[in-house]
């Protein structure tokens, strides 16, 4: 009993203790700013969650029954996949259409982001241009992709043009951030040396900056392609962009055919897992470089 | 030698760009992407936005209704990320290299997480729409499954990174499995994990808009309703409200991250 009581304050202290700290790190003060903020954040999230559950618009859904029904349809979906309205070859073709949408988006995004990323990097640009681009990127990222696509489809009509241009916005935002961070990691001395030798901005960019960051740029671009593939699936479903996402939307929302949804899900899953494995390998390469 | 090196490099980049061009052309062909229309649609969209896509007086009257929908969407995003984080924590502990019980459990939990992560939230939304209909729960569960998959992976990586040495040290002192988890692993990972949960909430609000359009709930439904009725002024107000909400949440979570990490 005594033993336990004497241990208690110790365990309280170790709560504030961080893994990789020096020996002095067993903090005597148990309550500091950091722990207060952590606990406050958790409390707010918990309260918001409970408040949310109390106020949601349930629309007379019997939760248990609906849950069992979903499990049942999930079972049908995953265990009895069967293509009905789309042929096997057609489904493969549509997967490639979706990949094509993702690819075009990534390509356009990469080209635009390369230039804007150079202007957003603090070491290669003026503070004003860098701050301006960062502000615009924050705004672009705050508008959900589907809204970009729908806004563009008013001007261009529903289809691949609106989808690619709308999705490009987010890719540009994401890649500018990634690229400019890669540019900023470049050794300051290299740029200074080139500048001292009389090289102009373009020469610095093409002879020093781009060659030394090329691996990073390609890795980030591929990671974005992985994201763009799943975005393209979603846009096919929500914004009529075509591809396998549209077929899935038709199978579930129009034909109510669970087994077809299952088969299409397997197609998407296969590609997504392949891309993820590839991306993991690339990430590992990035760490060793 | 040197000439060889440069010639090889030039050849490599030539092959790379030729391949890129080929894939681009194939993509343009199969997606039926109209290149000319792609370029002309941008100025067209900009002029259209400036003449039609701004909130007018009538649309401001809809603001209370839109804010109500926004509140529901934000709460769904928070609730799904928070509840998913509890499940993800459990799975991450079993799936991590340092705290997993045995190899079999580790593999199974990782497989489940991969499955959940790679089924897109839009697919979940359509599956759940069958049984949950247009209730808030459709969006909630769709986001929950997506968050669960992502957070399990993120938490597993966090536990692997942060706690391998402390787990070893505690094992050497003879501490029990549960005291290792609760006294060392969770406390040392919690700042990272909260950072991931905050990130998930931001992502969820964006996805919630998409799910709302697909399933007819929350702020996404408000947008698609006004959009399909060609009431672009009110639709733009919805976009504005979403943007402000996302920027606020991003800034708050960045502040929290700076304080705790």
Could you give the ipTM of this predicted complex?
A: 0.82
Look at residue A10 in the predicted model and tell me its pLDDT.
41
Sequence-ordered list of residues with C-beta below 8 angstroms from that of A3, at least 6 positions apart, any chain: none
For B105-125, what is the mean pLDDT? 83
Measure the N-to-C terminal CA separation of chain B; round to a whole number of Å: 50
Q: Around Cβ B115, how many Cβ atoms within 10 Å? A: 14
For B243-261, what is the mean pLDDT? 89
Look at residue A287 in the predicted model and tell me its pLDDT.
61
Look at residue A54 in the predicted model and tell me its pLDDT.
87
pLDDT tens digits along B153-206: 889 888 888 777 788 888 888 888 888 888 888 888 888 999 999 999 988 988
Look at residue A107 in the predicted model and tell me its pLDDT.
93
Confidence band for B7, pLDDT divided at 50, 70 and 90:
confident
Top-confidence residue, B129 or B3: B129
Q: Hey, of A12, A41, A74, which one would you mutate to test binding to chain B, going by the most B CBs within 10 A of its CB?
A: A41
Q: Does A96 touch chain B (CB under 8 A)?
A: yes
Confidence band for B89, pLDDT divided at 50, 70 and 90:
very high
Q: Check pLDDT > 70 for residue B101.
A: yes
Q: Does A115 touch chain B (CB under 8 A)?
A: no
Look at residue A17 in the predicted model and tell me its pLDDT.
47
Confidence band for B148, pLDDT divided at 50, 70 and 90:
very high
Interchain contact, B75 vs A56, CB within 8 Å: yes
pLDDT tens digits along B14-73: 888 898 899 888 888 888 888 888 788 888 888 888 888 888 888 888 888 889 889 989
Look at residue A7 in the predicted model and tell me its pLDDT.
41
Q: Does A142 touch chain B (CB under 8 A)?
A: yes
Q: Which of residues 182-241 of B touch A (CB under 8 A)?
A: 183-184, 187-188, 190-191, 194, 197-198, 206-207, 209-210, 213-214, 217, 220, 223-224, 227, 232, 239
Look at residue A111 in the predicted model and tell me its pLDDT.
93
Q: What is the CA radius of gyration of chain A?
A: 26
Look at residue A28 in the predicted model and tell me its pLDDT.
54
What does the mean pLDDT of chain B come to? 86
pLDDT tens digits along A10-47: 444 444 444 454 555 655 556 788 888 888 999 999 99
Look at residue A132 in the predicted model and tell me its pLDDT.
92
- The list of chain A residues with pLDDT below 50 reads 1-19, 21
Chains A & B: contacts with CB separation below 8 Å: 233
Q: Is the dihedral of CA A190, A191, A195, A198 positive or negative?
A: positive
Closest residue, chain A, to B230 (C-alpha): A154
Q: Hey, of A8, A12, A52, which one would you mutate to test binding to chain B, going by the most B CBs within 10 A of its CB?
A: A52
Contacts of A9 in chain B (CB under 8 A): none
pLDDT tens digits along A212-244: 888 888 888 988 998 899 889 888 887 777 888
The CA distances from residue B66 to B21, B75, B101, B205, B240, in Å, are 45, 14, 48, 15, 11
Q: Which of residues 167-196 of A touch B (CB under 8 A)?
A: none
Q: Which of residues 154-173 of B touch A (CB under 8 A)?
A: 162-163, 165-166
Does pTM top 0.90 for this prediction? no
Look at residue A175 in the predicted model and tell me its pLDDT.
93
Instruction: Determine what percent of chain B is predicted with pLDDT higher than 70.
Output: 99
Closest residue, chain A, to B164 (C-alpha): A19
Q: Which of A71, A81, A107, A73 is nearest to A269 (CA)?
A: A81
Q: At what angle do helices A160-184 and B35-52 cross, to 10 degrees?
A: 90
How many whole angstroms separate alpha carbon A64 and alpha carbon B234? 37
């Amino acid at each position: 009993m005594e033993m336990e009581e004497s241990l208690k304050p110790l365990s309280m202290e170790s709560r504030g203790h961080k893994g990789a700290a020096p020996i002095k790190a067993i903090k005597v003060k148990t309550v500091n700013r950091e722990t207060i903020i952590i606990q406050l954040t958790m409390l707010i999230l918990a309260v918001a969650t409970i408040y949310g559950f109390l106020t949601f618009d349930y629309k007379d859904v019997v939760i248990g029954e609906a849950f069992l029904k979903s499990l049942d349809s999930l079972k049908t979906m995953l265990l009895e996949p069967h293509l009905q309205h789309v042929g096997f070859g057609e489904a493969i073709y549509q997967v490639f259409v979706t990949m094509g949408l993702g690819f075009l988006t990534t390509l356009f995004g990469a080209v635009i982001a390369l230039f804007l990323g150079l202007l957003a990097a603090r070491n290669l640009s003026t503070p004003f241009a860098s701050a301006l681009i960062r502000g615009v990127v924050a705004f672009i990222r705050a508008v959900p992709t589907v809204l970009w696509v729908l806004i563009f489809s008013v001007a261009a009509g529903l289809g691949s043009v609106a989808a690619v241009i709308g999705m490009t916005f987010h890719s540009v935002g994401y890649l500018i951030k990634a690229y400019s961070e890669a540019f900023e990691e470049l050794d300051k001395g290299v740029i200074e040396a080139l500048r001292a030798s009389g090289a102009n901005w373009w020469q610095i960019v093409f002879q020093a900056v781009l060659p030394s960051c090329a691996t990073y740029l390609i890795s980030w671009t591929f990671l974005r392609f992985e994201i763009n593939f799943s975005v393209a699936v979603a846009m096919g479903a929500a914004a009529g962009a075509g591809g396998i996402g549209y077929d899935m939307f038709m199978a579930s929302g129009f034909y109510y055919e669970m087994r077809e949804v299952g088969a299409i899900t397997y197609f998407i899953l296969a590609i997504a897992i392949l891309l993820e494995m590839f991306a993991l390998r690339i990430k590992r390469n990035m760490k060793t470089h | 030698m040197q000439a060889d090196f440069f010639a090889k490099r030039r050849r490599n980049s030539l092959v790379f760009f030729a391949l890129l061009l080929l894939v681009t052309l194939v993509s343009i062909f199969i997606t039926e992407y109209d290149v000319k229309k792609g370029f002309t649609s941008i100025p067209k969209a900009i002029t259209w936005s400036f003449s039609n896509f701004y909130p007018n007086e009538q649309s401001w009257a809809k603001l209370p209704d839109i804010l109500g929908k926004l509140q529901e969407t934000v709460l769904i995003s928070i609730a799904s990320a928070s509840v998913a984080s509890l499940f993800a924590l459990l799975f991450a502990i079993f799936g991590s290299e340092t705290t997993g019980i045995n190899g079999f459990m580790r593999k199974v939990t990782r497989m489940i997480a991969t499955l959940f992560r790679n089924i897109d939230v839009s697919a979940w939304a359509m599956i759940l729409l069958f049984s949950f209909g247009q209730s808030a729960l459709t969006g909630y569960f769709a986001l929950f499954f997506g968050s669960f998959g992502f957070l399990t992976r993120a938490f597993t990586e966090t536990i692997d990174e942060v706690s391998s040495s402390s787990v070893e040290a505690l094992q050497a002192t003879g501490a029990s499995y549960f005291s290792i988890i609760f006294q060392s692993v969770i406390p040392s990972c919690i700042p990272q994990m909260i950072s991931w949960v905050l990130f998930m909430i931001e992502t969820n609000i964006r996805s919630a808009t998409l799910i709302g359009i697909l399933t007819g709930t929350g702020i996404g439904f408000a947008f698609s309703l006004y959009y399909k009725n060609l009431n672009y002024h009110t639709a733009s107000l919805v976009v504005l409200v979403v943007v402000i909400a996302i920027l606020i949440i991003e800034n708050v979570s960045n502040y929290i991250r700076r304080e705790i990490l």
